[in-house]
């Protein structure tokens, strides 16, 4: 029996601060009719322009995936999109009153929670499914990056990361059934190395960041003066480095939480194909640029 499209039963809102812009605002998910797809509406802009969540509207993958049409942008969409795919939601209109999706805790958890609160409604139309018939591959050999998809009976994922550091080396994550997304993938938070965080802070590039929405890996010696400075920046009584090489701001939910988060990002970025996928996706060292280039390749091969 063919699987049918889904939307939500009622509107629901989430409020928070954008990671990079520092803007505080709200997003509101609204039910949408069959074959509507996922669309964002910037209600803080004149005439309330609508931006479709499709791969052709990606204009940047710098520190997150950004959509843009006619100069109107929406930053950091990947965690929200992953939550919709994780719950099997096809049709929704998302009002947003700022330029960036709230970062929340750096995962998809709060979006999942809100959408489940709204309730999920099955519709009459059949889901649009991209059935993979042959292996498709995207590779950047010099960076050891590769993403492939092969025919399979359902959508599944395998992800490998390797930052070649003592504190974060090779990790693996898998998702064999999308029904497990909520518990196994959605809670997994974004991560950053301390030296990257310092660069971003010094260049005013994480205006909405705080020490509670990212795992911070430390792969160098850190002076007490530096730790004291970080504690002031993040309004914490103290900041220290744990034995496993992460700051003491949060505890890991899973030993391989970084790999699981990269899998989350991959799901979010592939949502921009605008339809469900049937195939097994395997990614080595994925990132937003890689994910979206792979989605463009699939779009050109199967949908254009």
Of 30, 79, 261, 288, catalytic: 288
Global pTM value = 0.93
- 257 φ, ψ (degrees, to nearest 5): -55, -40
Buried/exposed 210-237: b ≥16 CB within 10 Å, e otherwise: bbebbbbbbeeebeeeebeebbeebebe
- Average confidence (pLDDT) over 172-201: 89
Beta bridge pairs of residue 14: 27
Report how far residue 187's alpha carbon sits from residue 252's, in angstroms, rounded to the nearest whole number: 10
Residue owning tokens 């009719």: 33
pLDDT band at 211 (very low <50, low <70, confident <90, very high): low
Of the chain, the percentage scoring pLDDT greater than 70 comes to: 92
- Average confidence (pLDDT) over 245-262: 89
Mean pLDDT (the chain, rounded): 92
Superfamily of domain 4-127: lpxc deacetylase, domain 1 (3.30.230.20)
Q: List Cβ neighbours of 173 (8 Å cut-off, separation of 6 or more).
A: 157, 158, 159, 185, 256, 259, 260, 262, 263
Estimate to the nearest angstrom the gap between the alpha carbon of 59 and the chain centroid: 16
Report how far residue 292's alpha carbon sits from residue 67's, in angstroms, rounded to the nearest whole number: 11
Q: Which one is predicted more confidently, 177 or 192?
A: 177
| Active site (annotated) includes residue 288 | yes
pLDDT at 84 over 80: yes
- Average confidence (pLDDT) over 283-295: 98
């Amino acid at each position: 029996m063919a699987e049918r499209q889904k939307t939500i039963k009622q509107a629901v809102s989430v409020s928070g601060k954008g990671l990079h812009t520092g803007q505080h605002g709200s997003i509101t998910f609204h039910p949408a009719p069959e074959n509507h797809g996922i669309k964002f509406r910037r209600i803080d802009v004149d005439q309330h322009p609508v931006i479709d969540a499709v791969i052709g509207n990606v204009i940047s993958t710098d520190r997150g995936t950004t959509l843009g049409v006619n100069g109107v942008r929406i930053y950091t969409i990947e965690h929200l999109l992953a939550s919709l795919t994780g719950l099997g939601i096809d049709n929704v209109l998302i009002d947003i009153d700022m330029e960036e999706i709230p970062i929340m805790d750096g995962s998809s958890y709060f979006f999942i929670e809100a959408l489940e609160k709204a309730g999920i409604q099955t519709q009459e139309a059949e889901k649009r499914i991209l059935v993979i018939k042959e292996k498709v591959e995207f590779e950047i050999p010099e960076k050891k990056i590769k993403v492939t998809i092969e025919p399979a009976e359902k959508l599944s994922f395998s992800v490998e990361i390797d930052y070649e550091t003592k504190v974060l080396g090779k990790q693996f994550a898998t998702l064999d059934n999308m029904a497990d997304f909520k518990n196994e993938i959605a809670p997994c938070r974004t991560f950053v190395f301390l030296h990257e965080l310092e660069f971003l802070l010094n260049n005013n590039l994480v205006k909405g960041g705080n020490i509670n929405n990212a795992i911070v890996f430390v792969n160098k010696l850190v002076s007490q003066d530096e730790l004291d400075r970080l504690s002031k920046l993040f309004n914490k009584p103290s900041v220290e480095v744990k034995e496993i090489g992460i700051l003491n701001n949060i505890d890991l939910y899973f030993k391989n939480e970084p790999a699981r988060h990269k899998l989350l990002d991959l799901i979010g970025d592939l949502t921009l194909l605008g339809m469900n996928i049937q195939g097994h996706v395997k990614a080595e060292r994925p990132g937003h640029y890689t994910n979206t280039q792979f989605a463009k390749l699939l779009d050109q091969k199967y949908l254009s």
